[in-house]
Every structure is written in structure tokens, then in C-alpha cells.
Amino acid sequence: MSEKKVADRYLPGRPNHSARFAEVEYAENVGATLKRIWTYFAKEKTMLIAMLAVVVFGTLCGVYAPSLQSTAIDIIAGSASGALFKTLILMLIDYLLYAGSQLLQGLFSARLSQRIVKRMREELFGKIVDLPVKYLDSHSHGDVMSRMTNDIENISTTVSQSLPSLFSGVLTIAGTVSIMLWYCWQLALLSFATVLLTLLATKLLSKQVRKFSRKRQQLLGQLNGTVEEMISGYRTVVAYNHQGVTTEEFCQTSDSLTRAGIRTDVFSGVMGPIMNCIGNVGFVIIAAFGGFFAINGLISVGVISAFIVYAKQFSRPINEIAQIYGQLQTAIAGAERVFIVLDEVSEDMSGAQLEDSAEAAVTFKNVQFSYVPGHPVLKDFTLTVPSGKKVALVGSTGSGKTTVVNLLMRFYDIDSGEIRINRQNIEDLSRSSLRRDVAIVLQDTVLFSDTIRNNLKYANEAATQEQLDNAVRMSRCEEMLRLLPQGFDTMLAAAGANISQGQRQLLAIARAFVADPKILILDEATSNVDTRTEKAIQDAMQLVMKNRTSIVIAHRLSTIRDSDVIIVMDQGRIVESGNHDGLLAKKGRYYDLYMTQYAGFAT
């Protein structure tokens, strides 16, 4: 949760007055964003028209009610003729219709907002899953998730609450002003003077509230960051006897937060009383001057009563519109961020199909690649992986090993050169066809919050139970499944948190078995497990790699001793190649790496 989001939350049951004056976000291109938002409304024209019709009808009922009240009072006072009972019945009907319109307005606006947001959310999620890997590698995951959650939620709230209130408020102001001027323009102008006082007070106080609210948000985010850091690194804090310093830092931030919070609450707390005071002053003005006008025969007593109601009706939507304006700006800014993602270029999935062949030789020829232009990661990289052979890539961190895998999977496209599978250039292949015949087991195993069965079938939805049983047996997962309460149907927690790291790696290898790929990539598949588990994983990997074109990336050189070819990389180039014994005999770069790990040298 972002610092801003944390700061916007408040305790249940406690009014959050300052939230009305939170920092407003602005879109860079409001006009274009509004036009695009309108396309979503245009697809819900019937619901939109129905909602606006109900808003108009409800506003008319609200504006008409004080006039009926005025008539009823004048009939009672004897200054007007008419049937009192009939007038009261009309008032009752009017108020019932008003209440009914408010109910329908809430219903229609909720349905409209959810339909629009549903379409927008589905489009955004569909876009995210179609984005190239390099987009998510180069953008904050938290930011992308925020667009799906916070920004979409802001749009939903605005459509369901702010838009109807804005439309209703404008109509109420227009209707109220018209009737007040029609009844008595002199008293109307006097009433409007209090509205100017209200706007002035709101502007002055809200400026102070925003100032201290912004500071409180910043400090609250800092405080939460301190707590999160302390909890996640508690062992380190205790190990270095840093409890006192950490507590002092926390208390300093907490004191500053308390002071900012008090000032925010004071300024936001006086807002209501000041508004009420100005409103009461307005009522006094209406009563005093209204009485004077009534004595002189300009208006009736009933009109004074109506003016008091209209004055309240007039000031309320003005304050609401001032608040809604900020919400609208924030929602438009959120929509703009959503549209930025929707406008990103989706990953190109077009191309030919990979030829069906028992062979799967991989060739890199003069490959050049840079993540950042001008900073090459692979330089004139040439490598052949014969079909059915196991090739290992070793080298120091940053030498380009994982980049080779990224290029083969077409997570990124090369700058120059070519990569071929058999005779086909992978740039001519569709990414979906290529990835169907390549399976990858990563260092950080990804398992989903689902059953083990569905996690294994993630690689091949059409896999039979026999194929699953065979994959489990070959990957040494049988004993693990026997110990789990529901076997294949055991639910995994998020990222497989309810099983060990080694068990997760074994399931990832079993998933690769289920995929039955032509080409297998193992990227540091044993780096996070103990020696015993590593041996089990190695045995499973040997089976899954048998007679299969395999590329293995490893820091632990013990895992690749039996590779057909070992490629030693340094700064994006191949510096050595050969088998384990031959490379050791050369006493070159591979020898240095091996002796660093197994001869007691510092790593």
C-alpha cells in the first residue's frame, strides 16, 4: 500500500474531515482524457439517460417542495386562499417522489459506475497480460497494480457519487436562484451575500487543512515505513542492539505526526461550526429583512419560510461542488494513467509456427543486445546447442547468462544477429508457438494459489492424470504428495508458501515434465536449497533433460559437471568452452571459478 493510500485511511467511527481537502492530482491532457472516458459512457447510454432523468426529476421535486411549504403557511396565516389539506397532500407526494428519486439515483449511478469500471478493469487486465516482459521489467510492479486498484476505484467512486451530485448540485443552484429571484430579488441578493462568506471561509480554511494534511500524509508514510523496516529486519535490529536508536527515531516522527494531526484536525474541525455560524447569520438576515419586507407587504410570511429553506439548499451544493471538483480531477488523472497503460503496444504474437520435428538445435549467431542503448550486454555472441544435448552457461554475475535465456524466449528481441531453432529464425516465429516448445524452471519458482494439480497442468491444460503421475514420479515428488493431506488437490498458499523451497522447485520441474518441451531451460534451479534437496533436484533434472535440448545456468558448478558443453561467459562474450575435465586442465577462467568454490578461496 502506498504512503498516500495509507495516509488516506482513518479509524472507523471517526470523521475524516481533512480527507475532503486531500491533495488533488491533475491530468496532463484533460480534454483528451474526458473524450476517451465518454466512450465508456456512450456504451451505457440507456443507463446514463435514465440516471440523468431521475436526477432532474429529483432536483425539481426538491426545489418545488419549499414553494408548497410557503403556500401552506400562507393559507394557515390567512394571507392566501386555497385548500390546506390538498397542499399538504401535494407536499407529502412531493417529498415521497423526492425520496424515491434519490433511491433510484443511487441505484442507477451504482449500476452505471460498476458497468463502466468492469469494462475498464477487464480491458486493463487484458492489456497487462499482453504486455511485453520488458515493460513489466522496466516499470514498478506497485505502480502497475495501483492503476488496476486505486485508479480504477477512484473512477468508480466518482461515477457513482460525484457525477450525480455535481449534476444535481448545478441544477439545484440554478433552480433555487431562479425561484428566490422570482419571489423577492432584494431578499435573494441579501441571501447570496452569506454564500460569498461561505466560499471565502472555505477557501481560507481548506488551504490550511491541505497544508497540514499533506504533511501528515508524508509523516504517516514515513512512520509506517519505519515500522515495516523494523519488523522485517527485526533480527538485525536486535543483533546490533539498535532498539534504542530505532525507538528514538520512531518517537521523533510520531511527535511530528501528532503535531501535524492536531493542526489538521483543528482546522478541519472548525470548518463545520464556522459554516453553521455563517448559515445562522444568513437565517437571521432572512428573518430580519424578510420580516421588514413582509410588514411592508412585499412578501408573505410563507415566502420567508421558503427563503430559509432555499438559502440552505443554495449553500449546500456549492460546498459539495467545491469538494467534487478535486475528486473529479483526481479521477481524471487516474483515468489518464489507466489509458497510458492501455495505449502501450501489446506483445506481437504473430508469426509462423515452429516446425514439428524431433530435432531441436539452437543456434546463436553474432548476436548483439543491449537493455539500454549504448550499453551492450551480449557482444557478437555465437553459440550452437546441438539437439538433445546439455549446454551449461557459467560466469560471474552480469556476464549475460540470463540474457541469453531472455532472448531465446523472445522476452526481448535482439539488436542484431540471429537466433535459430533448427532452420527457422525465431523472429519469424510466433511467440506462442515458440514458448509452447520451450519450458523454463527459474531460480525463483512461481506457483499459484491453486491446487497442485492445476499448478502442474499450467504447462499443459490437456494433461491426463497418467501424465501427471508420470511427471510426479520422474521429478521425485511422490513422497511429498503422499505426505500432503489431499495429494494433488492440496491447495497451495500464495507463491507456495505452505511448502518448502525444495518442494516448490521439485513441483516446478514436474511442471516442466508435464509440458514435455523440445527445449528445456534451467536458470539457477538449485541455488536456494540445501545439499540434500539439491541432490534430489539434480536427479530429477537429469531425467527431465534426458534426450532433450537443454540450457542450464548455474553458479554451483557441481550441478553442471556432466554437461556436454560448458560455456564460460564474461562481459557478454564467450571466453571458454569445453567439458568439465578439459576446462579444468586449461586452468583458465573456468578453473578459477571452480577453485574459488571448492578449494576454499573467498567467494
Q: What is the CA radius of gyration of the chain?
A: 35
pLDDT for 5:
37
> Does pLDDT of 382 surpass 90?
yes
Query: Which position has the grid cell 425561484?
Result: 179
Least confident among 24-33, 48-57, 100-109, 308-317: 24-33
Q: Are 522 and 550 in contact (CB under 8 A)?
A: yes
pLDDT for 26:
60
* Portion of the chain with pLDDT greater than 70, in percent: 91
C-alpha cell at 176: 433555487
pLDDT for 463:
86
**Nearest C-alpha neighbor of 488 from the set 502, 535, 473, 501:** 473
pLDDT digits (tens, 9 = 90+) for 554-596: 777 777 888 889 999 988 899 999 988 899 998 888 888 888 7
> Does pLDDT of 295 surpass 50?
yes
pLDDT higher for 425 or 278? 425
Collect all residues with Cβ–Cβ distance below 8 Å to 484 and sequence separation of at least 6: 452, 490, 499
Highest mean pLDDT among 18-32, 165-179, 289-303: 165-179
pLDDT for 415:
92
| Spatial separation of the C-alpha atoms in residues 513 and 517, rounded to whole Å | 8
pLDDT digits (tens, 9 = 90+) for 386-425: 998 889 999 888 888 889 988 998 999 999 999 999 989 9
Q: Write down how long the chain is.
A: 603
pLDDT for 3:
36
C-alpha cell at 492: 497451495
C-alpha cell at 166: 455535481
Assign 102 to helix, strand or coil.
helix
**479-487 long-range CB contacts below 8 Å, 24 or more apart?**
480/506, 481/452, 484/452, 487/452
Query: Which position has the grid cell 428566490?
Result: 180
Q: Are 171 and 61 in contact (CB under 8 A)?
A: no
**DSSP characters over 542-597:** HHHHTTSEEEEE-SSGGGGTT-SEEEEEETTEEEEEE-HHHHHHHTSHHHHHHHHH
Angle, CA 393 vertex, CA 390 and CA 396 arms, to 5°:
160
Alpha carbon separation from 438 to 431, 441, 541 (Å, rounded): 11, 10, 15
pLDDT for 20:
45
pLDDT digits (tens, 9 = 90+) for 494-536: 766 777 777 888 888 888 888 888 888 888 766 655 666 667 6
Q: Could you list the beta-strand ranges (E) of 336-437.
A: 362-372, 375-385, 390-395, 416-421, 424-425
- 376: which strand partners? 370
Arithmetic mean of pLDDT over the chain = 81
Q: Are 112 and 160 in contact (CB under 8 A)?
A: yes
| Spatial separation of the C-alpha atoms in residues 578 and 584, rounded to whole Å | 10
pLDDT for 2:
38
| Spatial separation of the C-alpha atoms in residues 88 and 550, rounded to whole Å | 87
Least confident among 35-39, 60-64, 177-181, 277-281: 277-281
pLDDT for 529:
58
pLDDT digits (tens, 9 = 90+) for 346-374: 888 888 898 888 888 999 999 999 998 88
Tell how strand 362-372 and strand 416-421 pair up: antiparallel
- The pair phi, psi for residue 368, each rounded to 5°, is -115, 135
Q: Are 376 and 366 in contact (CB under 8 A)?
A: no
pLDDT digits (tens, 9 = 90+) for 57-69: 988 888 888 888 8
Confidence of residue 455 (pLDDT cuts 50, 70, 90): confident
> How many Å from the N-terminal Cα to the C-terminal Cα in the chain?
38
| Spatial separation of the C-alpha atoms in residues 104 and 200, rounded to whole Å | 35
pLDDT digits (tens, 9 = 90+) for 466-494: 888 888 887 778 888 888 878 888 888 77
Least confident among 16-30, 113-127, 538-552: 16-30
**DSSP characters over 371-388:** EETTEEEEEEEEEEE-TT
Q: Are 194 and 279 in contact (CB under 8 A)?
A: yes
pLDDT digits (tens, 9 = 90+) for 206-263: 777 777 777 877 787 788 878 877 887 888 888 878 888 888 888 988 888 888 888 8
H helices present in 2-83, as ranges: 3-8, 30-42, 45-77
Assign 408 to helix, strand or coil.
helix
Q: What is the mean pLDDT of residues 457-472?
A: 86
Continuous segment of H or E residues that includes residue 161 = none
**Amino acid in the structure at residue 419:** I
